[in-house]
Structure formats: C-alpha cells, structure tokens
C-alpha cells in the first residue's frame, strides 16, 4: 500500500473536508415520497424533484410492472441496432403531439438521461455548423449544458444571468453563421424562470437557435404541463426544447423536441444517443402513463395544489438574515451564506426530522450556500406547516 497517488487522493479528500465541501449520500429505504425512511429514520423530505408526486403513483408503478411483462427487463441494444421498442416510439409520438403547439413540424427524441440529451443536442448542432458556431450560455446554466458546450470544443460566451442586454450585445457582435442561445427554463438552484419571450425575440432577430433546458418546468408549468413554452405561449421553428422525465414525470430519462430536421440529424449524429444502450422499454411504457397524467385532469389538479403549497411557503416568515430568492416555482431556496452555516442548519433540521439538502459551491456561487427547498404535490399543507415551524425553531436556537 505505498502507491503515492492514493496518498495524494487522501490529502485532497482531507482538504474537501476542511472546506466544508464533503458531499455524502444518504440511503433511502422507501419510495420517493414526502415521508421517507432514510438510513433507518423517518424523515419529511423537501428535496426531491418529484414535483407532482408521480414517482410513486400506483398507476405509474403498475405501468412499469406491465412494461416489464411486455418488454422484459432491458432493451438489449442501442436505438439504432435493436433497442428501439414500440414503447419508445409511442412515447416519442405522445411528446411530439404535446409540443406541436409550440414548434412547427415537431418531433421528439428520447434519451436515457437529461445529461445525455444535452450533450447530444449541443454536439449535433456543432457537428452541423462545421466549425462556424458560437454558443451563448446563461451564467447559471446547469452543469450538463456547460459540459455539453465544452464537449463541442467550439467557442462559447457566458452571459450575465438572464440579462437581455448582455445577450443582445453579444449576438450583435458575433460573426458566426450559427448562433445558439442556451438557457435553463426554470433555473435549478434559484427557481426563477428565464425571460424566454424576450430571448426568443432576440434569437429571431439574429437568426439564432434558442435551446431551453426545462428539467424543472416540464410537467409543472403550463396549463397542460407542457412547461415553460406553454407558460409563455411561445411558438417558433428556432426553439429547441429539452425536458427531463425523471423529475415531474416521476420515472427516468429525457427528450428533445424540435423541428423534425434537427431531430433526424440528431438520430444520425448525436453520439450520446447512438453509442449507448436504449433505456429499458418498461420505463418508456411507465412514462406513457405518467405523461398522459401530466397532460390530463390529474396533472391539472396536482399543479393547482402544488401552487397552493408554493404560496403557503413563499408567504411564511423565514429567519432574519436568511435570504429568500424571488421564485414563483416549486424550487424555493433560502440562501444562508457560508458552507458551515448551511451545514449546521441542515443538520439541525434533520434532527427535527426534516430533510432539506444543503447546496454549496461549486453548484452555486461561493458564499451563497443555501437550503434548496423543493415542494411537491405529494406534500400536504400540514407538511408545509411543519417545515415552517422547523425553520422558525431554527432561528431561535
Ligand atoms: C436534472 C437536470 C438535468 C439532467 O437531467 P437528468 O435526467 O437527471 O440527467 C439537466 N438540466 C437541468 C437543469 C437539470 O436540473
């Protein structure tokens, strides 16, 4: 045991500890719900992205079982070999129909994860532009967008968060023949919504694509859950929409919806689509159920109730010297400041049986460590009351 690289790793891990940045995993022993068993302890959780409570919905779970009976456990191959099942095809048709009001000639393509979907769409765009492309990325974009842009090895510019002036100036002074503005729809750590109508107008003026990562809007925003494009009632051939299926949809996976020419190009060129085993068809089969629920009455009811909970929490008192973000979504972060402070608060809440994750740098800027509270339609108003009490008790202690 004298391999010096291991000693170096040990020292680096010690440094992570000293900075209060060690990340740990807790082991969940029950389904993803408001009340969960975690490391042998019952906790009221406010940290999943299961915004509609579909991850443990009996109909979705039953569809997963049915999908396994119909298609077996695994797909056996990538989509272009023999892994593309009828369930995947039906799911793509359902998603395309859902997004037809927002993009002309729309088609949808499913991926195993949102991370892979973002890599896939960004690299496919770069591949078609033959070295004459620039990406414009919001400063608070999700890591998977940042990594996807880096993977293209093409030039990119980071614009100030949600700043239309900054985007406008950068687009005006860029000579590339292909320009792509890239943004989260709902920002994952702040909960605010991107100014999409204005961004789309700028993109249309400058002949740019607008790629929207709506991981936290799909299923949650819009009258029938079609997310941020429906929220703003947008329609354009220049839109590219990425939605994830492991958050509000409660299962796993992701999709890109866009004009059929771009989707077909991605089938030909997206390496994160081509060179990976297709997700289990049973997952797609379960998603047929959960996406139909999202579009239907059950989804509307759950979105309306979630809105009630958001209002309940966002108007409740919070400890002085914590900062509430201006979020109208299910992501309701409370900024506390230092890593040590947020870890202490998180541990105190845990002692009261309330589980909220402490989010620290580099996921968020230094000294803006925060509790990222997420609400779900599976919470009750009593659950939110208990959260508010736990937070105020915190401020006294
Ligand atoms: C979660 C998330 C992703 C990644 O999706 P996965 O399906 O979990 O890989 C991408 N973008 C944003 C904004 C996210 O929050």
272 and 377 assigned to the same domain: no
Atom 8 of ligand 1: nearest residue by CA position: 114
- What is the pTM for the complete model shown? 0.96
CATH assignment at residue 84: 3.40.640.10
Whose CA is closest to atom 1 on ligand 1?
215
> Within this chain, do residues 358 and 378 fall inside the same structural domain, yes or no?
yes
Tokens of 35: 């009340």
Structural domain contains residue 136: yes
- Nearest residue CA, atom 4 of ligand 1? 114
User: What's the pLDDT at 396?
Assistant: 46
Tokens linked to 39: 């490391």
Last residue in a domain, options 262, 295, 328:
295
Task: Look at residues 243, 277, 295 and tell me which one is the last residue of a structural domain.
Answer: 295
CATH of the domain at 348: 3.90.1150.10
User: What pLDDT does 1 receive?
Assistant: 63
Task: Report the 10 Å Cβ neighbour count for 347.
Answer: 10
Asked if the structure places residue 52 within a domain, the reply is no
Structural domain containing residue 374: 24-46+297-396
Distance 95 CA to ligand 1 centre (A): 18
Domain assignment of residue 10, yes or no: no
Residue 308 alpha carbon to ligand 1 centre in Å: 25
Q: What residues line ligand 1, using a CB cutoff of 6 Å?
A: 113-115, 118, 142, 144, 184, 188, 213, 215-216, 244, 246, 254
What are the structure tokens assigned to 149, written together? 């842009």
The answer to whether position 260 is within a domain reads yes
**Is residue 12 domain-resident?**
no
Q: What are the residue ranges in the chain where pLDDT is below 70?
A: 1, 394-397
Q: With contact defined as beta carbons under 8 Å apart, do 234 and 200 qualify?
A: yes
Residue 314 sits in the same domain as residue 334: yes
Based on the domain organization, do 136 and 84 belong to the same domain?
yes
CB atoms within 10 A of CB 271: 14
Q: Note whether 34 and 177 are same-domain residues.
A: no
Q: d(Cα 178, Cα 157) in Å, to the nearest integer? A: 14
Is the domain of 291 the same as that of 349? no
**What is the position in ligand 1's atom list of the atom closest to the CA of 252?**
7
Given a contact cutoff of 8 angstroms between Cβ atoms, the answer to whether 349 and 373 are in contact is no
Residues 357 and 301 in one domain: yes
280 located within any domain:
yes
Which pLDDT belongs to residue 394? 60
pLDDT tens digits along 44-59: 999 999 999 999 999 9
Cα–ligand 1 centroid distance for 353 (angstroms): 27
Residues 182, 115 within the same domain: yes
Q: Count Cβ neighbours within 10 Å for each residue of 313-342 and write b for 16 or more, e otherwise.
A: bbebebeeebeebebebbbbbbbbeebebb
pLDDT of residue 212: 99
**pLDDT confidence of residue 216:** 98
Which of 244, 247, 252 to mutate to test ligand 1, by most ligand atoms within 8 A of the CB atom? 244
Pair 374, 359: CB distance under 8 Å: no
Cα-to-chain-centroid distance, residue 359: 15
Looking at 295, 319, 335, the residue that finishes a domain is 295
256 and 364 in a single domain? The answer is no
Q: For the chain, how many structural domains are there in total?
A: 2
Are the beta carbons of 43 and 351 closer than 8 angstroms? no
CA separation for the pair 224, 385 (Å, rounded): 28
Q: Is residue 155 part of a domain?
A: yes
Structure tokens at 13: 């891990």
Residues 174 and 249 occupy one common structural domain: yes
Please tell me whether residues 310 and 336 are part of one structural domain.
yes
Q: Are residue 223 and residue 318 in the same domain, yes or no?
A: no
Q: How many Å lie between the centroid of ligand 1 and the Cα of residue 213?
A: 8
Closest Cα partner for 167 from 142, 192, 201, 191?
A: 201
Within-domain flag for 320: yes
């Amino acid at each position: 045991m004298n391999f010096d690289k291991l000693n170096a790793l040990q020292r680096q891990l010690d440094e992570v500890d000293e900075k209060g940045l060690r990340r740990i995993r807790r082991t969940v022993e029950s389904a993803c719900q408001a009340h969960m068993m975690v490391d042998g302890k019952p906790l009221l959780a406010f940290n999943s992205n299961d915004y509609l409570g579909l991850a443990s919905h009996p109909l979705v779970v039953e569809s997963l079982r049915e999908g396994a009976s119909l298609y077996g456990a695994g797909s056996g191959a990538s989509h272009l070999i023999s892994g593309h099942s009828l369930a995947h095809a039906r799911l793509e048709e359902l998603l395309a129909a859902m997004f037809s009001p927002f993009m002309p000639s729309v088609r949808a393509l499913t991926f195993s994860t949102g991370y892979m979907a973002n890599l896939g769409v960004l690299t496919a765009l770069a591949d078609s532009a033959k070295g004459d492309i620039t990406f414009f990325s919001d400063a608070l974009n999700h890591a998977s967008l940042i990594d996807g842009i880096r993977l293209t090895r093409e030039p990119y510019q980071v614009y100030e968060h949600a700043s239309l002036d900054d985007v406008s100036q950068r687009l005006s002074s860029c000579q590339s023949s292909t320009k792509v503005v890239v943004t989260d729809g709902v920002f994952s750590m702040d909960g605010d919504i991107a100014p999409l109508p204005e961004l789309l107008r700028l993109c249309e003026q400058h002949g740019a694509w607008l790629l929207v990562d709506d991981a936290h809007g799909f299923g949650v925003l819009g009258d029938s859950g079609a997310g941020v494009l429906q929220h703003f009632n947008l329609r354009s051939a220049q839109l590219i929409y990425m939605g994830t299926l492991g958050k509000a949809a409660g299962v796993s996976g992701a999709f890109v919806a866009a004009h059929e020419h771009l989707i077909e190009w991605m089938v030909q060129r997206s390496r994160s689509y081509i060179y990976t085993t297709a997700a289990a068809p049973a997952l797609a089969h379960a998603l047929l159920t959960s996406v139909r629920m999202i579009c239907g009455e059950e989804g509307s009811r759950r979105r309306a109730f979630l809105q009630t909970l958001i209002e309940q929490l966002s108007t409740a008192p919070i400890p002085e010297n914590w900062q509430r973000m201006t979020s109208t979504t299910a992501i309701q972060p409370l900024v506390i400041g230092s890593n040590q402070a947020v870890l202490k608060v998180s541990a105190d809440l845990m002692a009261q049986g309330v589980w909220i994750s402490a989010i620290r740098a580099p996921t968020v800027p230094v000294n803006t460590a925060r509790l990222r509270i997420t609400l779900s339609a599976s919470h009750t108003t009593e659950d939110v009351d208990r959260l508010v009490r736990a937070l105020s008790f915190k401020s006294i202690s």
